[in-house]
């Protein structure tokens, strides 16, 4: 007999939110320890806020524009009070600069308030992404327990994906991808269109992610409707992308960098599959390390056959789009550029957890099931001993 007690719904949500908050905090901290907001680069946060960063980084304007908009409506008196508070007892009075001394822009009075705003929005995006991943997994995989555990795993490994760079827009990108799938499955097209426009302003690659949504849109729409809806979403994303590129056409840099030969040379060097790095303050495997490849292979072996067909199609589209672009135009070993496959990883993880839980439940049921009558009868000479052995159970 089970002794589980059903939690009241508000209690369950409060506990889940607290656990997800801590997991998101750990994940965001893992990112920020490694990369901050690119203080020493030509795409630092102040340059992004001013719109002077190099392309293509300057295209990722959602959080900078939002921070600028919030900053413009905050009364000057409130800004002055905030800045005076930060300057009272440096660096103790500045929580970001205190714990992350390299985050020097957080102590710059000209940008400090907006720095804090982008910092908060980045973290909250990771926090929200965990709920969005859970929701998508519930709708697509169907196992609520596995779907609840999956975001914890994704959040834990997220800093390991940021191998050669990490940016404030990586967390919103994850949130928008999970939210896009959830909305597509739920047939909420108007919110999906809004998310598509906002997500493309966050990062232009969302235009490509729209193509991976086709299988989920097709679940509850006819072929003609799927074609029209996908075309509309692509047109919307393309319009946002063109507008932002036109706005920053005069900035330095370029839209893409050709990396094919250097990337191939990197991939064929066996030593590059044993690289290590620091994550969470501890030495861990890095990038295409053989350990990571083995873990992915084990996950796929355990779950691929159990994945719904819609997930397999989604994964196939993402793979066809991502791999050629990654090899030709992305920096070596930079796993974050495989982001179109992140939700595939979430679904594979969820299915693996679900399978493991089902197997554990089946084993427990077999162990607690009563013996058949024929097996329960024992010779008279052994009945006392048998009773003595079985009783404690």
The strand pairing partners of 277, in sequence order, are 284
- Backbone region of residue 55 per phi and psi (left: phi > 0; alpha: psi in -120 to 50; beta: other values): beta
pLDDT of amino acid 6: 76
pLDDT of amino acid 375: 54
Average pLDDT over the chain, rounded to an integer = 91
Q: How many structural domains comprise the chain? A: 1
Residue 13 burial by Cβ neighbours in a 10 Å radius (0-12, 13-18, 19+): exposed
Q: What percent of the chain has pLDDT over 90?
A: 81
pLDDT of amino acid 386: 40
In a domain, 13, yes or no: yes
Question: In this structure, what is the dihedral angle of CA atoms 255, 261, 266, 269, given to the nearest 10 degrees?
Answer: 170
pLDDT of amino acid 89: 85
Question: In this structure, what is the dihedral angle of CA atoms 235, 239, 241, 246, given to the nearest 10 degrees?
Answer: 150
The average pLDDT across 159-172 equals 95
pLDDT digits (tens, 9 = 90+) for 352-382: 999 999 998 888 888 877 766 555 555 544 4
In a domain, 304, yes or no: yes
pLDDT of amino acid 364: 84
In a domain, 379, yes or no: no
Cα distances (angstroms) measured from residue 134 to each of 148, 168, 329, 369: 6, 22, 32, 33
In a domain, 91, yes or no: no
Peptide bond into 91 cis (omega under 30): yes
In a domain, 99, yes or no: no
3-state class of 276 per DSSP? strand
pLDDT digits (tens, 9 = 90+) for 83-132: 999 988 888 899 999 999 999 999 999 999 999 999 999 999 999 999 99
Query: Range of 138's domain?
Result: 9-73+111-360
In a domain, 86, yes or no: no
Whether residue 285 is predicted with pLDDT greater than 60 in this model: the reply is yes
Whether residue 391 is predicted with pLDDT greater than 50 in this model: the reply is no
Do 143 and 356 form a contact (C-beta atoms < 8 A)? no
In a domain, 80, yes or no: no
**What is the CB-side half-sphere exposure of residue 266 using CA atoms within 13 A?**
17
Whether residue 393 is predicted with pLDDT greater than 60 in this model: the reply is no
Whether residue 2 is predicted with pLDDT greater than 90 in this model: the reply is no
Q: What percent of the chain has pLDDT over 70?
A: 93
pLDDT digits (tens, 9 = 90+) for 228-246: 999 999 999 999 999 999 9
pLDDT digits (tens, 9 = 90+) for 23-61: 999 999 999 999 999 998 999 999 999 999 999 999 999
pLDDT of amino acid 381: 46
pLDDT of amino acid 255: 80
Q: Give the C-alpha separation, 64 to 253, whole Å.
A: 19
| pTM (predicted TM-score) | 0.91
The average pLDDT across 75-79 equals 95
Residue 268 burial by Cβ neighbours in a 10 Å radius (0-12, 13-18, 19+): exposed
In a domain, 164, yes or no: yes
Whether residue 277 is predicted with pLDDT greater than 70 in this model: the reply is yes
pLDDT digits (tens, 9 = 90+) for 191-236: 999 999 999 999 999 999 999 999 999 999 999 999 999 999 999 9
Whether residue 385 is predicted with pLDDT greater than 50 in this model: the reply is no
Closest C-alpha to 143, from 352, 344, 342:
352
* 68: its two tokens: 């600028």
pLDDT of amino acid 368: 77
The average pLDDT across 153-164 equals 96
Whether residue 328 is predicted with pLDDT greater than 70 in this model: the reply is yes
């Amino acid at each position: 007999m089970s002794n589980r007690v059903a939690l009241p719904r508000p209690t369950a949500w409060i506990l889940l939110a607290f656990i997800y908050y801590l997991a998101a905090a750990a994940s965001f901290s893992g990112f920020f320890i490694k990369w901050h907001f690119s203080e020493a680069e030509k795409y630092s946060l102040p340059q992004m806020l001013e719109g002077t960063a190099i392309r293509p980084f300057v295209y990722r304007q959602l959080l900078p524009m939002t921070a600028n908009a919030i900053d413009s409506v905050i009364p000057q008196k409130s800004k002055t009070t905030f800045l005076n508070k930060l300057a009272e007892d440096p660096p103790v009075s500045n929580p970001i600069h205190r714990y992350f001394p390299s985050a020097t822009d957080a102590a710059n009075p000209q940008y400090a308030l907006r720095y804090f705003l982008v910092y908060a929005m980045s973290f909250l995006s990771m926090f929200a992404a965990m709920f969005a991943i859970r929701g998508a997994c519930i709708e697509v995989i169907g196992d609520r327990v596995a779907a609840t555990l999956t975001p914890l795993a994704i959040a834990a490994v997220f800093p390991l994906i940021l191998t050669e760079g990490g940016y404030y827009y990586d967390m919103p990108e994850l949130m928008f991808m999970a939210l896009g799938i959830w909305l597509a499955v739920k047939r909420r097209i108007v919110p999906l269109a809004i998310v598509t426009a906002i997500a493309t302003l966050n990062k232009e690659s969302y235009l490509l992610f729209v193509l991976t949504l086709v299988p989920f849109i097709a679940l509850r729409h006819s072929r003609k409707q799927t074609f029209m809806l996908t075309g509309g979403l692509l047109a919307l994303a393309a319009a946002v992308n063109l507008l932002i590129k036109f706005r920053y056409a005069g900035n330095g840099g370029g839209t893409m960098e050709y990396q094919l030969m250097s990337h191939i040379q990197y991939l064929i060097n066996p030593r590059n599959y044993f690289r290590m790095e620091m994550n969470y303050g501890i030495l861990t495997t890095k990038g295409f390390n053989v350990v990571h490849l083995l873990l992915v292979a084990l996950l796929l072996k355990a779950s691929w056959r159990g994945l719904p067909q819609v997930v397999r199609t989604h994964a196939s589209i993402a793979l066809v789009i991502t791999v050629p672009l990654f090899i030709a135009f992305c920096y070596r070993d930079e796993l974050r550029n495989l982001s179109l496959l992140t939700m595939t990883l979430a679904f594979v993880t969820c299915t693996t957890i679900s399978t493991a839980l089902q197997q554990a439940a089946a084993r427990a049921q077999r162990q607690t099931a009563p013996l058949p009558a024929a097996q329960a009868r024992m010779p008279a000479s052994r009945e006392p001993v048998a009773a003595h052995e079985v009783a404690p159970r």
